[in-house]
Amino acid sequence: MKPFEYVRPSTLQEAIELVATNPKAQFIAGGTNLIDLMKHNIAAPGKLVDINHLPLKKIEKRDGFLRIGALVLNSEVASHKRVLASHPLLVQALNAGASGQLRNMATVGGNLLQRTRCPYFYDRAFPCNKRIPGSGCGALGGINRMHAIFGVPEKPDPRSCIAVHPSDLSVALSALEATVWVQGPHGERQIPMNDFHRLPNNRPEQDTTLANGELITAVEIPDAVFPKHVHYLKVRDRASYAFALVSVAAALDIDQNRIKTVRLAMGGVAHKPWRLFEAEKLLTGQTVSETIFRQAAEVAMQGARAFEHNAYKLKVAPNAIVQALKLAASLS
């Protein structure tokens, strides 16, 4: 690990200025991902700006929203009475991620910002456009079992990236149409969750739409539309401490066996949480049934493309969508 400077600013504005004015500075909170990256020499910040003591640790009800501070721990969110009552999908997604020890350290803001777990990103012996832009993508001709099937170019080129985003929480927040509040050198702004993460395109090194020096301050979720009939399904290699091969966040508002509103998002299949908008349109207003769920899954898979080692996802993903919907609707 390379030497670095550690600072602990006393205000939010001071922290933002320290990072905005120094390209080698990075924010640190729980550090559950950043420290690993530093140990692997993937990240080498010259200055770490500790934000743990800043006033961003509240979970509070606001007019029409539940606001969760960026520094609230994942374990605190998952056990909070208001979250348990109004947003059980968040609780399921958080409890599916990492381990109890990591959830006791990881923050909400850091969870959204964690980097891909693509092995070619971590192994410096291989090219990686996310690690070194323009160097190539080792996964394209390598073992791409865990990689993307959505949002990938029809004909990938050496500048491409087929890594997937690892956060379970982000998938649930996408389904719940959350808003990310950020503050930076030019003030405060809101970013819809679906626009927060980005597809790689020609800038695979850039995971989010955050500008230089911007810091996540909170996440806001609209009032409970889905206090029940939700399910987070995570398909993985082992039952805990494993990242999703495919995951599905399903939320249904059902009235007399008819679907009034539905939200669907997937993880483990794209460079960002993948909303299933067309499947949602198909399901809205329909009577709950396995048949309509299978039709929605078929629609959701349009545009999916597999590589040599992840073709199994073309079968696993639609089955996961159906199963998540059945469990959310209490059909299983």
DSSP letter at 287 equals B
pLDDT of the residue at 157: 84
Q: Which domain holds residue 15?
A: 5-52
Q: Among the residues of the chain, which ranges form H helices?
A: 12-20, 34-39, 74-79, 81-86, 88-95, 100-103, 108-113, 119-122, 168-175, 193-196, 277-283, 290-300, 313-328
Whether residue 1 is predicted with pLDDT greater than 80 in this model: the reply is no
8 A C-beta contact, residue 148 and residue 270:
yes
**pLDDT, tens digit, for every residue of 209-265?**
999 999 999 999 999 789 999 999 999 999 888 999 999 999 999 999 999 999 999
Would 291 be classed as within a structural domain? yes
Helix then strand count (H, E) for the chain reads 13, 12
Report the candidate in 198, 248, 249, 259 with the shortest Cα–Cα distance to residue 221: 249
Give the domain CATH number at 244.
3.30.390.50
pLDDT of the residue at 225: 84
d(CA 7, CA 154): 45
pLDDT of the residue at 239: 87
**pLDDT, tens digit, for every residue of 121-170?**
999 999 999 999 999 999 999 999 999 999 998 888 888 999 999 999 99
Mean pLDDT to the nearest integer, 62-85:
96
Domains: count for the chain: 2
Would 140 be classed as within a structural domain? no
Would 150 be classed as within a structural domain? no
Residues near 163 by Cβ (< 8 Å), separated by ≥ 6? 116, 118, 120, 121, 130, 139, 147, 148, 200, 204, 271
pLDDT of the residue at 158: 81
pLDDT of the residue at 25: 98
**pLDDT, tens digit, for every residue of 100-123?**
899 999 999 999 999 999 999 999
8 A C-beta contact, residue 269 and residue 164:
yes
Burial grade of 39 (CB within 10 A; 0-12, 13-18, 19 or more) = exposed
Would 304 be classed as within a structural domain? yes
**pLDDT, tens digit, for every residue of 9-53?**
999 999 999 999 999 999 999 999 999 999 999 999 999 999 999
Would 201 be classed as within a structural domain? no
Would 117 be classed as within a structural domain? no
pLDDT of the residue at 270: 98
Q: What confidence tier does 2 reach under pLDDT thresholds 50, 70, 90? A: confident
**pLDDT, tens digit, for every residue of 172-223?**
999 999 999 999 999 999 999 999 999 999 899 999 999 999 999 999 999 9
Strand ranges, E, within 160-315:
179-184, 187-192, 215-222, 230-235, 246-255, 258-267, 274-275
8 A C-beta contact, residue 142 and residue 152:
no
Q: What confidence tier does 311 reach under pLDDT thresholds 50, 70, 90? A: very high
The span from the first CA to the last CA of the chain, in angstroms, equals 50
Mean pLDDT of the chain, nearest integer: 96
8 A C-beta contact, residue 232 and residue 96:
yes
Final residue of a structural domain among 29, 52, 75: 52
pTM of this structure: 0.97
**Residue showing tokens 């349109």:** 281
Mean pLDDT to the nearest integer, 296-303:
98
pLDDT of the residue at 234: 98
Would 35 be classed as within a structural domain? yes
Final residue of a structural domain among 15, 31, 52: 52
Would 242 be classed as within a structural domain? yes
pLDDT of the residue at 156: 83
Q: What are phi and psi of 126, to 5 degrees?
A: -115, 155
8 A C-beta contact, residue 215 and residue 200:
no
d(CA 69, CA 55): 8
d(CA 177, CA 175): 5
Give the domain CATH number at 13.
3.30.43.10
